[in-house]
Structure 1
Amino acid sequence: LGTRDATNGFCLFSDDPIEKDLEHYLEPLAKLCDVISKWETALREKGSGKFENSRVIQLSYKNRLYWKHTIKCETDKERLLLCYQTNSQIVQGRFPLSRELALELASLMSQIDMGDYSLEKSRDVGVGLKGLDKFYPYRYRDALGAEQLKDVQELLVSKWMLLKGRSTLDCVRIYLTCCRKWPYFGACLFQAKPRQNPESNAASGAIPVAWLAVAEDALNVLELSTMAPVARYPYSSVMTFGGCQDDFMLVVSHDDGGGCEQKLLFAMSKPKILEITLLIADYMNALGHTVPGTPQMNSLTRNGSHRSLRTSQRPTLGGGSAVATGFSTNATTTAHNTLNSHATHTLNSNHSHTLSSSHHAGGGSQPGT
């Protein structure tokens, strides 16, 4: 593929057989045949035993763990993949940018994806619309009338024409240089509803919905529409995190000398709670923080099925400290349980579903490239 080994932070994901916009990270040690089998089984359960031959599993290869200090080590193919992944976030409204910048980036992606705007392409009256469909944010495009849409198409084509002769590598470099100016570039975003204001720990004044941006060194809370920072919680301050009934729970300590702790709850779907919990754990493992045991899952079933899966734990190294030496996770739960994520996710009715974290002095060592 032209990418580095597992230390590049890229992983395989599968689509979900039930929910359209849900993807599942595949544990690197998982067998592909097992993943396909579980995907097809879940699809049959959805259809009451009927086999749908019109659906097949879709796999994607994209970045999961992003490390700013490894930028110089990225291969050309990794940078190209990052362009397409970032473009997907831009189109879906997960990246803050103006209409003008959106057009500039859309023209760069048109050059990367379709090459020079030529006379042959100019005969295709829909080529500008194709560029908007693939590379322009939905929220800007949907607000346009017919005439406005035509004007934006022409503007996109004119900017695209100015890039004639630019190589793919050159356009990729320009694109990423621009996008990396956003402080949260590379972070994984989750929509969540805070149960209280992250800044005050009070139920009153809680923001309706926010982004949780999971980055290499901290979990950040961003305002939904502007994506402006609301709060930041470095992993060195995190005491406990994970599922707590129907919420994602984060307990942090404050370095104010008082030794006080703050408990934060965010309403999320159970598949997303599992995803964000494992992602934070993998970042902390890679940084050298201690993260004992994965969340305990008593049963994961789908649509009333009585099938259950064994509870598995993240293995520990050296006196109970689960410290990953690379970027890939050791959690065996993910590969086996992700296709059962829509079912009733029983979380020990009388217990919190959490990971506790204690930290080494100095925050641990940085992972190697």
Structure 2
Amino acid sequence: LGTRDATNGFCLFSDDPIEKDLEHYLEPLAKLCDVISKWETALREKGSGKFENSRVIQLSYKNRLYWKHTIKCETDKERLLLCYQTNSQIVQGRFPLSRELALELASLMSQIDMGDYSLEKSRDVGVGLKGLDKFYPYRYRDALGAEQLKDVQELLVSKWMLLKGRSTLDCVRIYLTCCRKWPYFGACLFQAKPRQNPESNAASGATPVAWLAVAEDALNVLELSTMAPVARYPYSSVMTFGGCQDDFMLVVSHDDGGGCEQKLLFAMSKPKILEVTLLIADYMNALGHTVPGTPQMNSLTRNGSHRSLRTSQRPTLGGGSAVATGFSTNATTTAHNTLNSHATHTLNSNHSHTLSSSHHAGGGSQPGT
């Protein structure tokens, strides 16, 4: 593939056989034949009840853990993959940019994806629309009338023509240099509804939906529409995190000398709760932080390469809610993900911290999706 080993932060993901916009992170040690078998079983049992030969599993290879200090070590293929992954976020409205910048980036992606705008391409009247469909944000395109759409197509083509002769590597370099100026580039974004104001424990009435941006060193809360930062919680301040009934819970300490702790709750779907928890734990393990609720609290163990689950030793809050990485089935999905059914999730770590989850037809992961 032209990529580094698993330490590059890229992983395989599979689609969900039932949920359209759900993806599942595949553990590096998972057997592909087992993954396919479980996917087909889930499709048959949760879907129509019969085998569908018209559908097959879809696998994608993309970045899950992004490290800013490894930029210089990236291979050309990894940078190209990052371009397409970032473009997907831009198209879906998960990246803050103006209409003008969106057109510039769409023209770069057109050059990367389709090459020089040639005389042959000019005969295809739909080539500009194809570029908009693949590389221009939905929210900007959907607001256009027929004439406006035509004008934007012409603008895209004109910018694309100016890139004639530019190599793929050159366009990738320009594209990533521009996108990396956003402080949260590479972070995995999740929509969540805070149960209270992220900056205080006081209830604030109807709280709007926000973004949770899981980055290499902190969990960030961003405003939904502008994606402006609202709050930042470094992993060094995190006391507890994970599923708490139907919410994602984060308990942080404030370094003010008073020993004050703050509990935050975010309403999310159960597959996303599990995904956020796994992702944060992986980042903390890689950074050498002690993951709350791990071996020091006798919650989870690792014996060599064998993964074990000590259900009776999971730390819990009052009422039996799941806490931190002692993740109980309360915080996993009971929906359609049988790809990791009865599995344990092990964190890649040199510090022997593990995160396990026994979930019956449950659990899920993505980037970000």
TM-score, normalised to structure 2's length?
0.82
Task: Call closer, same or farther: CA 1:35–1:263 in 2, change over 3 Å.
Answer: same
CA RMSD of aligned residues (A): 9.6
Task: Call closer, same or farther: CA 1:329–1:162 in 2, change over 3 Å.
Answer: farther
Separation in 2, partners of 1:99, 1:194: 29
Give the aligned partner of residue 87 of structure 1.
87
CA contact (8 A) 2:242 2:331 kept: no
Give the aligned partner of residue 57 of structure 1.
57
Deviation at 1:63, TM superposition (A): 0.2
Separation in 2, partners of 1:41, 1:298: 35
Deviation at 1:49, TM superposition (A): 2.4
Q: Does 1:189 align with 2:189?
A: yes
Deviation at 1:260, TM superposition (A): 0.5
Gaps of 5+ in 2: none
Task: Call closer, same or farther: CA 1:339–1:319 in 2, change over 3 Å.
Answer: closer
Q: Which contiguous aligned blocks of 4+ residues in structure 1 show a shift greater than 4 angstroms?
A: 292-338, 340-369
Task: Call closer, same or farther: CA 1:297–1:24 in 2, change over 3 Å.
Answer: farther
CA contact (8 A) 1:179 1:185 kept: yes
Deviation at 1:349, TM superposition (A): 30
Q: Secondary structure of the equivalent of 2:329? A: coil
Task: Call closer, same or farther: CA 1:336–1:349 in 2, change over 3 Å.
Answer: farther
User: In the TM superposition, what whole-angstrom CA distance separates every residue of 1:310-343 from its partner, at most 9, and x where no partner exists?
Assistant: 9699999999999999999999999996636899
Q: Secondary structure of the equivalent of 1:293? A: coil
Q: Secondary structure of the equivalent of 1:307? A: strand
Task: Call closer, same or farther: CA 1:306–1:323 in 2, change over 3 Å.
Answer: closer
Equivalent pairs counted in the alignment come to 369
User: In the TM superposition, what whole-angstrom CA distance separates every residue of 1:286-324 from its partner, at most 9, and x where no partner exists?
Assistant: 000112667999999999999999969999999999999
Give the aligned partner of residue 311 of structure 1.
311
Separation in 1, partners of 2:302, 2:224: 31
Deviation at 1:207, TM superposition (A): 3.0
CA contact (8 A) 1:11 1:63 kept: yes
| More off after superposition, 245-254 vs 45-54 | 45-54
Separation in 2, partners of 1:342, 1:321: 20
| More off after superposition, 257-266 vs 203-212 | 203-212
Task: Call closer, same or farther: CA 1:2–1:319 in 2, change over 3 Å.
Answer: farther
CA contact (8 A) 1:44 1:50 kept: yes
Separation in 2, partners of 1:28, 1:346: 10
Task: Call closer, same or farther: CA 1:151–1:40 in 2, change over 3 Å.
Answer: same
Task: Call closer, same or farther: CA 1:208–1:330 in 2, change over 3 Å.
Answer: closer
TM-score, normalised to structure 1's length?
0.82
Separation in 2, partners of 1:367, 1:47: 25
CA contact (8 A) 2:270 2:331 kept: no
Task: Call closer, same or farther: CA 1:17–1:297 in 2, change over 3 Å.
Answer: farther
Deviation at 1:202, TM superposition (A): 1.6
Give the aligned partner of residue 97 of structure 2.
97
Separation in 2, partners of 1:300, 1:54: 41
CA contact (8 A) 2:246 2:270 kept: yes
Task: Call closer, same or farther: CA 1:305–1:181 in 2, change over 3 Å.
Answer: closer
Task: Call closer, same or farther: CA 1:146–1:193 in 2, change over 3 Å.
Answer: same
CA contact (8 A) 2:191 2:268 kept: yes
Task: Call closer, same or farther: CA 1:125–1:62 in 2, change over 3 Å.
Answer: same
Identity of aligned residues (%): 99
